[in-house]
Amino acid sequence: MSAQRSEFNQKQRLQMIAMLRGLFENNPRPFFDRRGFSPEALDDFVKREEVLNQTFQFVTQLMNIWKAQYPNDIPLKPLPLSSNLNKTMPQPMTPPIQESATSVQEIIPPEPVKLSKPIPPRSPTAPAPTVRFTLPNAKVGVAYRARVEGHTAEGAAQVVELRLPDDLGLHFDAERVELHGIPTLAGEHVLRVLWTLDRRERYSSDCILIVNPDPKTLWQVKEPAADAPYPKNHAVYQLLTGFGFRLAAASRRGRSHEHAGTFRDDDFVIELIDKTDWALLLVADGAGSANFSREGSRLAVMTAREQLTRELSATTGAKLIEALKHWDHDSDAKQMIGSECHYLFHRVATQVVEAIEKEAQQRNSESRNYATTLLAAIVNRQGNDTFLATFWMGDGAIAAYGPRGKVRLMGTPDGGEFAGQTRFLDRAALNDHGFAKRIGIGRFADLTAIFLMTDGVSDPRFETDRGLSEATNWDALWDELQPILTSTTPEIALCDWLHFFTAGHHDDRTLAVLW
């Protein structure tokens, strides 16, 4: 590394040479061991312009620091050459340098010893070898450890020092030649590397370290247009207790909607139907490609609640309660329950479709612009037994969980030809001969919980249909949710939990739980 030439006179030049020789000579406190190289090599080194430059700058800096520390005391001055040499070299191996010396040649030691293979001096103006340093990319907030490696045509570069920005969050281990820490600043950072090939000549080069940002920080949070139709709260939650149940539900806008400045498309309803023993849970997910799907999901859960409340409070509810008393010993009772639930949910689905069609007509739009899924569950508990009847149209999941290690999916999520596609509740679904397969019925002992969720929760938590059917995944989910559901405000805690981050999954999230 060549330094900018400093201006100094002949006397100062000789003082610098004498100081450098003092680092090697036979004096009470030598710094370097001179054994193993010739006097010629030492002489060439101490006379090199960049060495004298650096030495002069070092001495000047010391004097400036002394002056700043002791401004009113005796100034720091170099000793005369003769005094300096007499004090530092009581038994010199070379003749002392006198102040009257007029040429650099007069201070060359007359020792004739030479190495068998002399080290050729480098030209102070010789260009540094071409080097390429590489470091793997880092990410903000993620522990990083990498070896600093550089390569030239002459061989591997030996890294001596790595200079880093103070606030980067990384540190250089010179012994291991490793960069480690937890990056705090995203961007392309230029690091200064001091290196050598032969431990004599040092060079300075740049190394680029790319620190990728934390993906969570890339998401913007925007508000929808003030005049957008069908406004909807970005987050809602609810808690109900009764009939031996606890119900909690929450729904919040996904990061993709936050970033785009659009409304939440999900919706839900949980209900304890007054003067009955029936609880119901409803979850809907509006199609992301449909302009007014947020209203479609709202119409779906609100219309379904009205229809289910009306029927479960009247004849249909009474018939189901009576038939449940004979569940264990009368197969006809089970058949009647299945038939009643099929027609009940078909009437509910029909009412939802008609409500959406009516709204679309009033808005002079098409019903497909209100496309939505619908998951529905009605629950009745008698002792340790829990009766559950469900309707599943679209993706997401409905599950009866527990005891630990056991889960019963109440249907199969609908998938389309491409990822992210699903079936929506419309006229075609009502007339589908497979409609009955969307109805699930069961009576369970020692049930832990019932879950209804949109795909904003099921996709990142279970990933595949096979993952949905594995009880260990539900055990893990329950372990995570149980402290939330036993907190003082489980509905708020549940809404906060729904904001978990999973790369690639940024949809709206809605979860309803009965336990």
Nearest to 188 by CA among 162, 163, 210, 213: 210
Q: Which residues fall within 8 angstroms of residue 262, CB to CB, at 6 or more apart?
A: 224, 228
Q: Low-confidence residues of the chain, pLDDT below 50?
A: 1-5, 83-125, 416-419
- The 3-class secondary structure across 255-282, one letter per residue, is HHHHHHCCCCCEEEEEEECCCCCEEEEE
Q: What pLDDT does residue 216 have?
A: 79
Give the pairing type, strands 138-139 and 202-212: parallel
Residues of the chain with CATH 3.60.40.10: 235-514
Six-digit token string for 346: 């078909």
pLDDT tens by residue, 309-340? 999 999 999 999 999 999 999 989 999 999 99
Describe the strand order of the beta sheet including 131-134 as a list of residue ranges. 131-134, 149-152, 155-156
Assign domain 235-514 to its CATH superfamily.
PPM-type phosphatase domain (3.60.40.10)
Element (H, E) at 337: helix 331-362
Phi, psi of 483 (to 5 degrees): -65, -30
**DSSP β-ladder status, 266-272 and 235-242:** unpaired
Distance CA(468)–CA(408), nearest Å, equals 10
CA distances from 504 to 50, 94, 163, 254 (A): 56, 74, 36, 12
List pLDDT tens digits, range 476-485: 999 999 999 9
In whole angstroms, give the CA distance from residue 183 to residue 331. Answer: 66
Contact (CB, 8 A) for 360 and 444: no
Which amino acid would we find at residue 378? I
Residues 6+ apart with CB under 8 A from 501: 215, 216
pLDDT at 36: 64
Return residue ranges of the chain for CATH 2.60.40.10. 131-214
Per DSSP, what are the bridge partners of residue 189?
209
* Burial zone of 101 (CB within 10 Å; 0-12 exposed, 13-18 middle, 19+ buried): middle
Give the DSSP letter string of 187-246: EEEEEEEEEESSSSSEEEEEEEEEEEPPGGGG----PPPTT-SS---SEEEEEEEETTEE
Which CATH architecture fits 131-214?
Sandwich (2.60)
Length of the chain: 515
230 C-beta neighbours (distance < 10 Å), count: 18
Cis peptide before 121 (omega within 30 of 0): no
The DSSP annotation for 300-323 comes to HHHHHHHHHHHHHTSHHHHHHHHH
Q: What angle do CA 278, 438, 310 make, to 5 degrees?
A: 30
Beta bridge partners of 208: 190
And the tokens for 6? 């400093």
Please answer whether residues 225 and 482 qualify as being in contact, where contact means their C-beta atoms are separated by less than 8 angstroms: no
Helix (H) or strand (E) holding 131: strand 131-134
Q: What are phi and psi of 159, to 5 degrees?
A: -75, 125
Q: What are the tens digits of pLDDT across the range 183-221?
A: 999 999 999 999 999 888 889 999 999 999 988 788 899
Question: By C-alpha distance, which of 100, 93, 96 is closest to 84?
Answer: 96
Q: What is the pLDDT of residue 16?
A: 78
CA distance 179 to 170: 7
